[in-house]
Structure 1
Amino acid sequence: MGEVKTVSIIGLGALGVLFGHHLSKRMPREKLRIIADAERVKKYKNEGVYCNGERCSFHYVTPDELCEPADLLIFSVKYDGLKEAVQAVKNHVGENTMIISALNGITSEAVIGETYGMENMLYCVAQGMDAVKVGNELSYDHMGMLCFGDQKPGVASENVKRLAAFFDKMEVPYEVDTNMSKRLWGKFMLNVGVNQTVAVYESNYGEIQKKGPARETMIAAMREVISLSEKEGIPLTEADLNYWLDVLDTLSPEGKPSMAQDVEAKRYSEVELFSGAVLELGKKHGVPTPVNYELYHKIKHIESQY
């Protein structure tokens, strides 16, 4: 099992660029592989990919290229690209490949696990980053951290220790959490609140960091997730809500969540992962979710104008 030496990343969204750039300065170039199809690779090479003003020096591989399996595989695509990404990484997965997914929502692990099994899948949540991506340029003030752990609560597995040792060496801020399903639900609650509210108000983190209707809407949407979490057997509390509100307060007021960036660029958003999922769960448990119902329809309306 040994130490992590090769890393593969699929998806150059905010997270892929941020962590890819960070790792690229600390490990041999060919040991960090960015997986992308030939067309994308051509575009990345021509236009460049920039992180805080610096051009990233990435080693690209296409899905068909044969290679050694990675010790660590990171998914950082958008949810609608996940199925395709799962197929694209097949040459990078071996029996000892650890897999983490930094996608939003609470379902990506299961989708990846259907193909590659759950035994080497660690649950992971990225939090506290305030990156904004415009075209091929990413900028951020706070890198945030990766929280990861096993699916089952309790003791940290060998894989968790292996990943922690690698992140120590690479100076990646992280936290090991022995109750990851709760953390995933907490992050889901945060996204349901902050992503959708900032998108609908067409503003930024500053808007929901201060008292006012936007912040109230956000908290009301988050409380609907709390009532669903109880039914799903992963009960969140007001203390969890306050924990995530504190995380929000650390972000740069000018920053924006991904969904607000999508709306601004007139791209279709991940609304189905947020209020879409809340409405489904509400139906399943007979729990009313009026705030998310309203957010869902407002976002769908915005998207219908593109």
Structure 2
Amino acid sequence: MEIKNVSIIGLGALGVMYGQHLSKRMPKANLRIIADKERIEKYQKNGVYCNGERCDFTYKQPDEKVEPADLLLFSVKNDGLDAAIESVKNHVGENTIILSALNGITSEAIIGNTYGMDKLLYCVAQGMDAVKVNNKLTYDHMGYLCFGEKEGNEDSEKIKAVSDFFTQKEVPYEIVPDMYKRLWSKFMLNVGVNQTVAVFGSNYGAIQQNGEARDMMIAAMREVMVLSRKEGIQLTENDIEYWLTVLSKLSPDGKPSMAQDLEAKRFSEVELFSGTVLKLGKKHGIPTPINDELYKRIKGIESEYVLQV
């Protein structure tokens, strides 16, 4: 199995960053960005920029007939996942490998319900510090994609195909033997850092140093750690320390997508983060006061959008 055709849906930070990286390393026609007509017209008129350079992408509308992708990357927001699943149908063939870089712990199962779990590798993106404002993305650290089967089987044909392709195209990656645990671990990070930076209206620098923001972030992560054990995922303090090390290497001026959403007065993925934690806490009878507080504060900020209209 050799990867030649790649399709990406979602030109958020990840889509732009990896799209631009790949566009410099493969034939233009072999990298397709899937988007509806209105979005494509906007991209072509205003441009899409990555670190000051205009991206030169090949765009495909969902109803266009194309050769199926060998690799399909989902990089939309969670509230756009259902529409994205419908939009990529012409890009999914018998041998298509699917990676989902969405936040949270459910996107793979949702995508697999339509296209089959046999096509999916579990995936998380980590270590990037991109900031996207309108049509312009900037970043210092690209980070890397972690991927693998849900549990074990590091030598699967899908893993070999993706790792060979990423090596050839100089995409930083890590093969993780227990990707479902890493998915939960990344969720724990997102619950802590995304929400904390957002409510403090700050950046990574605020949680890289001791203080109220860092303390709140770690406390929110610990609530996920406790709940993970009830769900059969054994996250520990070592997992928290791992992420603190990752965070320490990011640009202090960078910020996660939720903080960027609130600054732009867009509705965030709070239901995916503390919303999920609150539901799990209720399910298992475990209090989650830090995530309760984060949820209320983010919802409070978002409620102001309506008042300002």
Distance 2:112 2:285 in 1: 29
Contact 1:156 1:178 (C-alpha < 8 Å) held by counterparts: no
Distance apart, 1:155 and its partner CA: 3.3
TM normalised by structure 2 equals 0.98
- Tell me which residue corresponds to 1:232: 231
Shift of 1:152: 2.1
CA distance in 2 between counterparts of 1:149 and 1:17 reads 23
Q: What SS class does the counterpart of residue 305 from structure 1 fall into? A: helix
* Alpha-carbon distance in structure 1 between the residues aligned to 2:297 and 2:155: 42
Q: Which amino acid aligns with 1:104?
A: N
Cα deviation for residue 140 of structure 1 reads 0.2
| Conserved 8 A contact 1:105-1:273 | yes
Identity %: 70
CA-to-partner distance for each residue in 1:140-191, whole Å, 9 max, x for gaps? Answer: 0000000000012243311001100000000000000001011101100000
> In the aligned structure 2, how far is the partner of 1:282 from the partner of 1:84?
30
* Map of 1:169 onto structure 2: 168
Deviations 1:193-247 (A, max 9, x none): 0000000000000000000000000000000000001001011000010000100
Provide the residue aligned with 1:255 in structure 2. 254
Give the equivalent residue in structure 2 for 1:85: 84
The one-letter code of the counterpart of 1:36 is A
Deviation at 1:254, TM superposition (A): 0.3
CA deviation string 1:61-100 (max 9, x = no partner): 0000001110000000000000000000000001100000
Matched, 1:245 2:244: yes
Q: CA RMSD in A?
A: 0.6
Q: Counterparts of 1:82 and 1:185 in 2: how far apart (Å)?
A: 19
For residues 1-306 of structure 1, the aligned pairs below 5 Å read 2-306=1-305
Mapped partners of 1:76, 1:90: distance in 2: 16
Q: Which amino acid aligns with 1:68?
A: E
Q: Distance in 2 between matches of 1:155 and 1:22?
A: 26
Give, in angstroms, the shift of residue 120 of structure 1: 1.1
> Do the aligned residues in 1 keep the contact of 2:148 with 2:154 (CA within 8 Å)?
no
SS at 2:93 equivalent: coil
SS at match of 1:122: strand
Q: Which amino acid aligns with 2:158?
A: N
Secondary structure, aligned partner of 2:117? coil
> How many aligned positions are there?
305
User: What SS does structure 1 have at the residue aligned with 2:4?
Assistant: coil
Q: Secondary structure at the match of 1:65?
A: coil
Distance 1:177 1:156 in 2: 11
Supply the distance in 1 between the matched residues of 2:237 and 2:138 (Cα, whole angstroms). Answer: 32
The runs of 5 or more residues in structure 1 that have no matched partner are none
TM-score w.r.t. length of structure 1: 0.99
The one-character-per-residue Cα deviations of 1:268-293 (angstroms, maximum 9, x if unpaired) are: 00001100000011111111101001
Q: SS of the residue aligned with 1:272?
A: coil
Distance of 2:199 and 2:304 partners within structure 1 = 14
Partner SS for 1:195: helix
Ranges in structure 2 where 5+ consecutive residues have no aligned partner: none
- Per-residue CA distance 1:12-62 (angstroms, 9 max, x = gap): 000000000000000000100000000000000000000000000000000
